[in-house]
Homo-oligomer: A and B are copies of this chain.
């Protein structure tokens, strides 16, 4: 039973990555840095007869995500939402719905998801819409939304000063028996 960590930051070693690493340290985890890949915006072909999806890294990334049982979406809070990298990746799920809807949803419905969002401007309050969007996403896919951690940080490393976020992550680890 493995974990996929989907890092949505534009840079390495930022606060959201650091908190996610505290969470998964010692567990088997596939670490997927979205910034390493090229994933183009979705094109909406729901109402077209034809259409070709971008030939980019989406299939590679979604395959790795779907191969794990626990998903940890890890994103800085950019402009009060998930990063564009994260959002663009999720938008592409519409492609998977078109390619094989029932398989895609069945696969996701057997997974458990966590969300980590780190920001600088009152993240515990202004990060709430981000959490609610994931709530609706997981309701749609049938994924169990196990919980989220909103934490405060600006300069890399700040997150360790958010002792409540760090303690929350330590406690979540204790509930993981896999």
Q: Which residues of chain B come closer than 8 Å to A94, judged between CB atoms?
A: 78-79
Which of the candidate stretches A66-74, A99-107, A122-130 sits at the interface with the other chain? A122-130
Partner of A135, one of B11, B47, B125, B164: B125
Is B126 within 8 A of A129, CB to CB?
Answer: no
Closest Cβ of chain B: how far from A7's Cβ, in Å?
13
Say yes or no: A168-B164 contact (C-beta < 8 A), given A47-B156, A87-B84, A145-B125: yes
Residue-wise, chain A 33-52 has the 8 Å CB interface mask toward B (1 for contact) of 00100000111101110000
Smallest Cβ-Cβ distance to A76: which chain B residue? B44
Closest Cβ of chain B: how far from A88's Cβ, in Å?
3
Interface size class of A (residues with CB under 8 A): 35 or more
Closest Cβ of chain B: how far from A11's Cβ, in Å?
5
A90 in the interface (beta carbon within 8 A): yes
Say yes or no: A91-B80 contact (C-beta < 8 A), given A43-B11, A145-B125, A167-B168: no
14 additional A-B residue pairs with CB within 8 Å, beyond A125-B135, A164-B171, A167-B167: A10-B44, A14-B44, A47-B155, A78-B94, A79-B93, A80-B133, A84-B88, A87-B87, A124-B147, A125-B132, A125-B145, A126-B136, A129-B136, A167-B170
Alpha-carbon distance A46/B155, docked complex (angstroms) = 8
A65 in the interface (beta carbon within 8 A): no
Closest Cβ of chain B: how far from A100's Cβ, in Å?
18
